[in-house]
Structure 1
Amino acid sequence: MNIKLSLQTRAVSLLARREYSRLELEKKLASHAQTPEALSEVLDVLEQRGLLSAERLVEQVVHGRRHKYGAQRIRHELKEKGIADHLISTAMVDLKETELQTAREIWRKKFGVIPENLKERSKQARFLAGRGFSAEIIRQILVCSDEEE
């Protein structure tokens, strides 16, 4: 019982600092658990008590990253954290609505001028792709940026 309490205390301590997915918490606590069953039991209790929530994690990640990154990058990050596909899909619906505007703002901050040649265009496209924006969004930004100013 003492080990479970210690494991639960560690988990709560970690969750007090930031949100974790179940997978992340399993990885962090695996070395402290005597058996995988004990760890699983502790995580189940945390989920039942509402201390461990995938929905809150998705909300936190999307809120914190939506002004810097595109939907593809955020989707990848959520998958890496072990979030269920239906939660990711729900979050992506909201992101898709504002993705073009976000990409345009990021592009304006970084470059602000229309690429004059293929080399500059490629550089700007790579930057936006690295931030997780789709090829369609990048095309719209680089083609339409001069029309909107």
Structure 2
Amino acid sequence: MAGASPAATLPAVAEELLSEMAAAVRESARVPDEHLLLLKFVFGSSALQALDLVDRQSVTLISSPSGRHVYQVLGSSGKTYTCLASCHYCSCPAFAFSVLRKSDSLLCKHLLAVYLSQVMGNCQQLSVSDKQLTDMLLMKKQEA
């Protein structure tokens, strides 16, 4: 799995489910139906939306020579959001409201799509210079 494991920040049930999904994909190159049902149970409607983002190959891992990396997810609205899987963060408004403010969701669909793309090995990859990565992150901050 590229990047950090979600284990450090997700509740044990979500961590275990993603772990089991990764093992199943390694074994049979597919996610078993029971795991998809559990995904829907744990994450609700975000699960289907996240799977759709993964299917549309909307997740890109952007890495730099220094080893820094971020994910960008092209959302269903056409906006691109920056996700930092290592610290369980997404720049979308749903993350700020539902995850951080109200605490009624474990993750937004973009961050879940990042974790699922890691599990399924279905992630676009882009290498950029350290300066380009810094500029990308600073531009995102200025737009917010």
TM over 0.5: no
Tell me the TM-score normalized by structure 1. Answer: 0.24
Q: Greater helix percent: which structure? A: 1
Higher relative contact order by CA 8 Å / sep ≥ 6: 1 or 2?
A: 2
Q: Greater strand percent: which structure? A: 2
